[in-house]
Amino acid sequence: MADSVVIRGQRLVLRSLRPAEIDAEWQAMVTADPIAVAELPDEAEFRARLTRSGRLHAGWLDLAVDVGGESVGRIQTFVPPCRPLAPGTFDLGIGLRADMRGKGYGREAVALLTDWLFDHAAAQLVEAGTDPANHAMRAVFRHAGWREDGTVTEVGRDWLMYRITRPQWQAARN
């Protein structure tokens, strides 16, 4: 699709999910470690959302993390169910296949999408929550220049929040 978001990095591409990849993404959600996924979404809504991947709409954007022509996971922006976001604020989430973790793909994908949101989506703040025990994800955020900024309780759990503002991002780029 011509208007789909495509973000190219050194080792990976963030792109729309292909129809055949949607089943694998649903299975990844069903079998996800509870440290990474707060709650299982409605299957029909999840699948419908992924068919619109590659397009930013109302704060939502889903992209495949593609390495060598193969999807190895998904990165997204989303709107939390019980917390409205201020204009220019984006929440980010990422999930990679277990065999693709620890290779720097998550770090590159987070940096690429963060850059794109500030450059193309008028972002003022990009944030993400992670389980406090998810040390790998915490390291990804720190490496990408994000800062730890308190906790948020959502869907019955406490999430450690990481954020980067437009001025912080601009300073890191210079």
Q: Rounded to two decimals, what is the model's pTM?
A: 0.91
Sheet holding 89-96: strands in order across?
7-8, 13-15, 61-67, 70-78, 89-96, 125-130, 157-165, 147-154
As a dihedral over the C-alpha atoms of residue 164, residue 161, residue 143, residue 79, rounded to 10 degrees, the angle is -60
Report pLDDT digits (tens) over 53-68: 999 999 999 999 999 9
Report pLDDT digits (tens) over 90-125: 999 999 988 999 999 999 999 999 999 999 999 999
- Asked whether residue 1 is domain-assigned, the answer is no
- Asked whether residue 125 is domain-assigned, the answer is yes
- Asked whether residue 127 is domain-assigned, the answer is yes
> Any idea what the CATH number is for the domain that residue 135 is in?
3.40.630.30
- Asked whether residue 84 is domain-assigned, the answer is yes
Q: Which amino acid is at 167?
A: P
- Asked whether residue 104 is domain-assigned, the answer is yes
- Asked whether residue 85 is domain-assigned, the answer is yes
Structure tokens belonging to residue 4: 């789909």
Domain that holds residue 93: 7-173
**Domain total for the chain?**
1
- Asked whether residue 143 is domain-assigned, the answer is yes
The pairing of strands 89-96 and 70-78 is: antiparallel
Tens-binned pLDDT, residue by residue, of the chain (174 aa): 457 999 999 999 999 999 999 998 888 888 877 666 667 788 999 999 999 999 999 999 999 999 999 999 999 999 988 888 999 999 999 999 889 999 999 999 999 999 999 999 999 999 999 999 999 999 999 999 999 999 999 878 899 999 999 999 999 887
Residue 150, Cβ density class (10 Å: 0-12 exposed, 13-18 middle, ≥19 buried): exposed
What does the alpha-carbon distance between residue 11 and residue 47 come to, in Å, rounded to a whole number?
A: 27
- Asked whether residue 2 is domain-assigned, the answer is no
